[in-house]
């Protein structure tokens, strides 16, 4: 048996989605794999019998570029998310995230750390109206395109644009943008998770078909109609559109929806109180339509001794024994003067404590576009810098239905940040600890827009500023109503991260293998840290690609005169020092972490020290020792 003498090299890529699925299939059906690890479809057919459909004619949906969507999904990301503490609020303590970057790359980077951890996703993607912003069509160069778009590398011009109806692939381009993002988003959902997607008539049909593939048709829950306007407008098509849709899919049957809060209108009839501790009640009919002879008997008014029978063909809703019990418990009402016919006292605390959600959401209940604009304008104390915000009351309705108090909520088309606003406000209302993850592309604000005139360069800047202002507003309310101590217990903050190329210079396999290129690549391989990046930048990349969330607990230690980061109460130790010593190796190993990561350059080509480090870690029970 070969003894390991070198640390394991850490993989700098995001989760290999296709590889993970092949491994899952191999566990279920190892017999369909060849010696070289490929899938033998003939063996698969023999294993599954007639369940494998090899025909060309089958029900399904296809469009130009669909095959490229799957190649996009299978491509891993070598990018990273760099912290921006100066743009954050309460960075060290918060569990909330705002990520600035292309959401396709970000979703790939979140796969390892957040796989199966998100309870609810809400997105408000581009509606593909012909004027709204659309993502790049060349997905194979997503990170490169993004870096050019944000000016991080030189380019002749930006590659992100609008998607006009004159384009011959108008719908296909939108579907190519949406499909891989929804596919990756599904991975992040818990088994009992759910996704809400805002859309209008332009693409609702295509969205439903995409979601039927990604989430499966049997997991469709609803297509909600939201009344977004309270009055008709002069629309060019002849009909004034006053609604949008919210398409809802569960990940599996494990999803259990919550009831919505009862309304004041529902509770208004419960206004009677006998002062006996049973609470408010209203009178209700004692008769039922379904006839039963056991329900035909006299009820005697205890005050007048008058007997009351149910009308012919009907009966009382309970047997005589149960009725006697109700009479003794004072659950039967005989009118204000006590001389009337019997009625049942229906107690408020005994009825269903909530409402079953329906698919028509009126603006009186969840708000409309005008209310959303006023809400944002009030926060910014000026005209809203965002064109089409959603009202926070709309997202709160979804949160009521889909989340419990400690769940994670994701919005990867964050826009003005309504999802974060709603999470923070609902936590304020019910004492919850829900966390949000927002992702927003730094889409430039048009030069003549109100946002640009107000000093905002990108939509992501608006997202962050809105959430800052919501936090400030809630902090003020807490201090006024609850006191400083209670206010400090609330998570009113967020960490900002920005999408950038990796902190580690990748080996460029696209270059021709000439001598000069190889020499240069070898130099990069030895000193492969990207110039200008901090230890903190490197730390968060290692955490993300090791499967730890960006909000994991981090403690900075000083061991043998070197800085060492303890992650998740010491289960992972990371040392990013350039000059490792036997003493620091021993000090780290003595803490017996499950995993340890350090820079390969930290050994300074001292192979003996590296070999000894492997043996020391092994002797202390360190399961995985990696270098990068």
Is the predicted pLDDT of residue 510 greater than 50, yes or no? no
Summarize pLDDT for 3-47 with one digit per residue, the tens: 567 888 888 888 888 888 888 888 888 888 887 778 887 777 777
In 212-258, which residue ranges form alpha helices assigned H by DSSP? none
Residue 527 and residue 452 share a domain: no
Burial class (CB in 10 A: 0-12, 13-18, 19+), 96: buried
**Range of the structural domain that residue 339 is part of:** 264-350
Domain assignment present for residue 477? The answer is: yes
Residue 367 and residue 450 share a domain: yes
Q: Are strands 360-361 and 220-227 parallel, antiparallel or unpaired?
A: parallel
Is the predicted pLDDT of residue 291 greater than 80, yes or no? yes
What count of other Cβ atoms lies within 10 Å of the Cβ of residue 371?
Answer: 19
What pLDDT sits at residue 124? 96
Q: 227: part of which helix (H) or strand (E)?
A: strand 220-227
Residue 139 and residue 28 share a domain: no
Domain assignment present for residue 485? The answer is: yes
SS3 of 461-522: HHHHHHHHHHHHHHHHHHHHHCCHHHHHCCCCCEEEEEEECCCECCCCCCCCCCHHHHHHHH
Residue 410 and residue 283 share a domain: no
Is the predicted pLDDT of residue 511 greater than 50, yes or no? no
Residue 205 and residue 109 share a domain: yes
Residue 425 and residue 336 share a domain: no
What's the structural domain count of the chain?
Answer: 4
Domain assignment present for residue 5? The answer is: no
Distance of CA 363 to the CA centre of its chain: 25
What pLDDT sits at residue 271? 95
Summarize pLDDT for 174-229 with one digit per residue, the tens: 999 999 999 999 999 999 999 999 999 989 999 999 999 999 999 999 999 999 99
CA count, 13 A, side-chain hemisphere, 161: 11
Domain assignment present for residue 245? The answer is: yes
Domain assignment present for residue 12? The answer is: no
Residue 57 and residue 39 share a domain: yes
SS3 (DSSP) at 319: coil
Tell me the pLDDT of the chain averaged across its residues: 88
Residue 371 and residue 345 share a domain: no
Whichever domain contains 184, its CATH number is: 3.40.50.150
Domain assignment present for residue 116? The answer is: yes
Rounded alpha-carbon distances, angstroms, from residue 618 to 117, 560, 567, 571, 605: 32, 20, 20, 15, 21
Is the predicted pLDDT of residue 393 greater than 80, yes or no? yes
Q: Which of 447, 474, 500 is the last residue of a domain?
A: 500
In 494-619, which residue ranges form alpha helices assigned H by DSSP? 515-526, 535-545, 582-590, 607-619
CA distance 409 to 425: 13
Summarize pLDDT for 247-284 with one digit per residue, the tens: 999 999 999 999 999 989 999 999 999 999 999 999 99
Q: Which among 610, 584, 581 is positioned nearest to 6, based on CA atoms?
A: 610
Residue 232 and residue 375 share a domain: yes
Residue 97 and residue 69 share a domain: no
Q: Which of 74, 93, 112 is the last residue of a domain?
A: 74
In the chain, % of residues over pLDDT 70: 88
Could you give the maximum distance between any two Cα atoms of the chain, in Å? Answer: 111
Query: pLDDT higher for 436 or 45?
Result: 436
Residue 410 and residue 299 share a domain: no
CA count, 13 A, side-chain hemisphere, 86: 0
**Mean pLDDT (whole number) for 542-569:** 95
SS3 (DSSP) at 209: helix
Give Cβ neighbours of residue 158 (< 8 Å, ≥ 6 apart): 148, 149
CA distance 125 to 138: 19
Q: Which of 350, 372, 399 is the last residue of a domain?
A: 350
Q: What is the pTM of this model?
A: 0.88
Domain assignment present for residue 3? The answer is: no
For the ranges 111-115, 278-282, 431-435, 489-493, the lowest mean pLDDT is seen at 489-493
Is the predicted pLDDT of residue 507 greater than 50, yes or no? no
Q: At what angle do helices 103-114 and 535-545 cross, to 10 degrees?
A: 70
**Mean pLDDT (whole number) for 122-140:** 71
Residue 180 and residue 110 share a domain: yes
Domain assignment present for residue 338? The answer is: yes
Give Cβ neighbours of residue 67 (< 8 Å, ≥ 6 apart): none
CA distance 214 to 70: 12
Sorting pLDDT into bands at 50, 70 and 90, what band is 622? very high
Rounded alpha-carbon distances, angstroms, from residue 449 to 181, 229, 458, 496: 29, 23, 11, 25
Enter the tokens of residue 313.
């063909």
């Amino acid at each position: 048996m070969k003894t390991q003498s070198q640390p394991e090299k850490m993989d700098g890529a995001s989760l290999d989605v296709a590889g993970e699925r092949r491994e899952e299939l191999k566990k279920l059906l190892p017999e369909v794999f060849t010696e070289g690890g490929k899938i033998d479809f003939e063996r698969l057919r023999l294993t599954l019998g007639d369940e494998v459909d090899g025909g060309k004619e089958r029900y399904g949906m296809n469009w130009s570029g669909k095959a490229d969507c799957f190649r996009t999904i299978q491509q891993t990301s070598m990018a990273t998310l760099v912290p921006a503490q100066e743009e954050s609020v309460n960075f060290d303590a918060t569990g909330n995230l705002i990520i600035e970057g292309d959401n396709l790359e970000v979703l790939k980077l979140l796969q390892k750390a957040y796989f199966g951890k998100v309870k609810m996703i809400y997105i408000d993607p581009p509606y593909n109206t012909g004027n709204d912003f659309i993502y790049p069509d060349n997905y194979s160069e997503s990170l490169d395109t993004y870096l050019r778009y944000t000016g991080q590398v030189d380019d002749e011009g930006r590659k992100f644009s609008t998607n006009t109806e004159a384009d011959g692939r108008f719908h296909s381009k939108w579907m190519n943008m949406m499909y891989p993002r929804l596919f990756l988003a599904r991975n992040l959902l818990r088994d009992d998770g759910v996704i809400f997607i805002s859309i209008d008539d332009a693409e609702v049909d295509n969205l439903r078909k995409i979601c039927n593939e990604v989430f499966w048709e049997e997991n469709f829950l609803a297509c909600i109609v939201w009344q977004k306007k309270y009055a008709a407008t002069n629309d060019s098509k002849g009909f004034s559109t006053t609604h949008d849709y919210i398409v809802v899919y569960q990940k599996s049957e494990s999803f259990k929806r919550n009831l919505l809060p009862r309304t004041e209108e529902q509770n208004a009839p419960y206004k009677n109180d006998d002062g006996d501790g049973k609470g408010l009640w209203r009178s209700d009919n004692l008769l039922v339509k379904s006839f039963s002879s056991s329900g035909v008997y006299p009820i005697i008014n205890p005050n007048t001794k008058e007997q009351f029978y149910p009308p012919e063909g009907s009966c009382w809703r309970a047997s005589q024994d149960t009725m006697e019990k109700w009479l003794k418990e004072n659950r039967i009402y005989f009118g204000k003067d006590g001389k009337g016919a019997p009625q049942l006292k229906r107690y408020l605390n005994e009825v269903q404590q909530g409402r079953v959600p329906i698919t028509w959401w009126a603006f009186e209940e969840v708000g409309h576009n005008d209310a959303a604009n006023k809400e944002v304008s009030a926060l910014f104390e000026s005209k809203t810098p965002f064109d089409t915000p959603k009202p926070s009351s709309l997202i709160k309705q979804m949160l009521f239905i889909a989340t419990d108090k400690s769940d994670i909520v994701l919005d990867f088309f964050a826009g003005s940040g309504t999802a974060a606003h709603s999470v923070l406000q609902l936590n304020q209302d019910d004492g919850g600890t829900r966390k949000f993850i927002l992702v927003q592309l730094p889409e430039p604000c048009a030069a003549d827009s109100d946002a640009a005139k107000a000093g905002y360069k990108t939509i992501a800047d608006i997202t962050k500023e809105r959430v800052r202002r919501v936090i400030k507003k809630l902090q003020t309310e807490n201090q006024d109503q609850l006191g400083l101590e209670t206010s400090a217990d609330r998570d009113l903050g967020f960490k900002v991260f920005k999408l950038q190329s990796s902190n580690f210079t990748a080996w460029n396999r696209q270059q021709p293998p000439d001598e000069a290129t190889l020499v240069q690549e070898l130099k990069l391989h030895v000193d492969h840290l990207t110039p200008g990046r901090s230890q903190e930048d490197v730390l968060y990349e290692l955490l993300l690609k090791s499967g730890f969330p960006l909000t994991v607990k981090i403690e900075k230690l000083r061991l043998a005169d070197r800085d060492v980061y303890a992650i998740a109460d010491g289960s992972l130790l990371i040392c990013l020092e350039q000059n490792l010593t036997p003493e620091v190796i021993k000090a780290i190993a003595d803490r017996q972490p499950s995993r340890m990561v350090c820079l390969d350059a930290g050994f300074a080509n001292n192979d003996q020290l590296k070999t000894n480090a492997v043996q020391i870690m092994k002797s202390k029970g360190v399961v995985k020792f990696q270098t990068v």
